[in-house]
Amino acid sequence: MAYNFKLTVEYDGANYHGWQKQKNSRTIQDEIEKAIFKITRNNVVLTGSGRTDAGVHALNQTANFFCNTNIEAKNLGRAIGSLVPEDIVIKDCVVVDKNFHARYDAKSKVYHYRILNSETPSAICRRYAWFIPKKLDMTAMKAAASHLPGDKDFKAFEASGSSRSSTIRRVNSAKFSKKGNNIVFEIEGEGFLRHMVRNIVGTLVDAGLEKISPDDIKNILASRDRSRAGITAPAHGLFLMHVNY
C-alpha cells in the first residue's frame, strides 16, 4: 500500500542549483529522491511547496511523496536524513491524508531576507546575508514596505521572461526588524512570482539608500515595468522560513 509522506526539510542552498530536479545540476529534490530510492527501492516524485532558486536556503521547506513501504514514518525520516548530504536535514516525516499536496494545499509562505549593514563584512555570515556597507535608512525602508500588503499586481517585481497567467498576488505582511547591524525583511504571502521577493528587497534597499522615495513603490507597482524596480538581491540572503497549511 502506498502512503503519502510529508517531509519538513531544512537546507543550506549554497551548493545547489535550487530545489527542483534538473538535468546535469545538483538539486535538493534530487538528493532526497535518491536517498528514498536507496531505502525503499521506490522511484518517487517529491513535490515541494514551491521552488527555491539556486543559492536560496530553507529552514522549513515542506514536501510530500507517495511510497509503498512498511517503514514507519519516523524511522523513514531518520533513514533519509542519514543518506542525504549534511547540508540537508530531514526535520520531520509523517504520514498524511492521501489528498494532501505540499504545493496546492499551502495557504501562505513566510520568507526572511537577511542584510548585514556594516562597514566591514563578515567571514561567518558572508553566505547567509547581503553585505551592504552604506548606511541604510530603516525608516524609509519600512515606509516603502508598507505599500506592499494586499492583492496587487507585482508584474514589476517578476523576473524578466517569466510567463504566468496572472501576476496578481496577495501579500499578507511585509516588515523589517533590526538587531545591531543585522536587518531582516519578513514577507508573508499566498504565493510569489519568480524572483519576486529578491526584486522587492533590491527595491526597498534603493529606498534605504535614498535612491528612490518610499512612495515610489506605488508608482513602480502601477507601472508593471521590471526596469522601474531595483536590482535582484543576491540569492544567499533569502530563507524560506515556514509554509502554512
Catalytic residues: 53
135 Cβ neighbours under 8 A, 6+ residues apart: 117
Residue 103 CA from chain centroid, whole number: 13
Q: Measured between alpha carbons, how far is 194 from 187 in angstroms, rounded to an integer?
A: 15
Nearest to 30 by CA among 11, 46, 6, 14: 46
Residues 1, 75, 62, CA angle at the centre, nearest 5°? 80
Residue keyed to cell 536524513: 81
Q: Measured between alpha carbons, how far is 73 from 79 in angstroms, rounded to an integer?
A: 10
Nearest to 148 by CA among 114, 171, 169: 171
Q: Measured between alpha carbons, how far is 112 from 123 in angstroms, rounded to an integer?
A: 20
Q: Measured between alpha carbons, how far is 230 from 200 in angstroms, rounded to an integer?
A: 7
In this structure, the strands spanning 238-244 and 168-179 are unpaired
Q: Measured between alpha carbons, how far is 219 from 231 in angstroms, rounded to an integer?
A: 16
The SS3 of residue 81 is: helix
